[in-house]
Amino acid sequence: MGGALSMSTVAGVLGGCRAGPADGTFAPQALTSGRDELVATIAELIIPETDTPGARAARVHEFIDQMLSNWYEDENRDHFLAELATVDQKAQAAYGKNFLDLSEADQTDLLSAMEEEGLAWMETLGTAGGDPEKPPFFVAMKSLTLFGYYTSEVGATQELRVNPMGVYRGDVPYEEIGRAWA
């Protein structure tokens, strides 16, 4: 699925938005009432731990909280938080439980359905339909997760590889490439 970057996301990254204190303490500002754990769980489902650390290890939920608190306009932050609340509503409607109480398989199924909604919304962009400043939750969440992960130290140094030579070699077979180059 593609994604869209909002100006607040770009401004946050260019402005040096950090996940939080290096000592590991985290006091959420926008993601209150346990919503930080919901965001951390969803981010980890988007980028799970494999042979490299996942979104939780990269502290993506802290990055998202900083983006919402310090860079998003009030209207856009409120929209994101309202959409976040629908995750538990959808979980309750489909499974009779809150999202965090679901099995990982059910969580993934619910997020896949939300991704389909996001794809439908993206198709309306440029028409009289979708508002690019108010995307469905999963579109915004995935965009922030990917941005937060790949601009984190973990994402940039352990997931991506750096090509110190900066040489383009167009004849390398795809099977030999593996992960993308930073």
pLDDT for the residue 141:
97
pLDDT for the residue 2:
47
What are the CB-based long-range contacts (under 8 Å, 24+) for 162-168?
none
Separation of alpha carbons 149 and 153, rounded Å: 8
pLDDT for the residue 6:
57
Instruction: Give me the half-sphere count of Cα atoms (radius 13 Å) on the Cβ side of residue 98.
Output: 9
Tell me if 45 sits within 8 A of 111, measured CB to CB: yes
pLDDT for the residue 59:
95
pLDDT for the residue 169:
66
Domain residue limits, the chain: 7-177
Separation of alpha carbons 124 and 48, rounded Å: 30
Q: Which of 109, 145, 128 is nearest to 3 (CA)?
A: 145
Residues 6+ apart with CB under 8 A from 101: 91
Q: Which of 57, 48, 39, 14 is nearest to 144 (CA)?
A: 39
Tell me if 136 sits within 8 A of 117, measured CB to CB: yes
Amino acid at 120: A
Q: Which residues of the chain have pLDDT under 50?
A: 1-2, 19
Tell me the average pLDDT of the chain. 84
Block residue for tokens 């383009």: 168
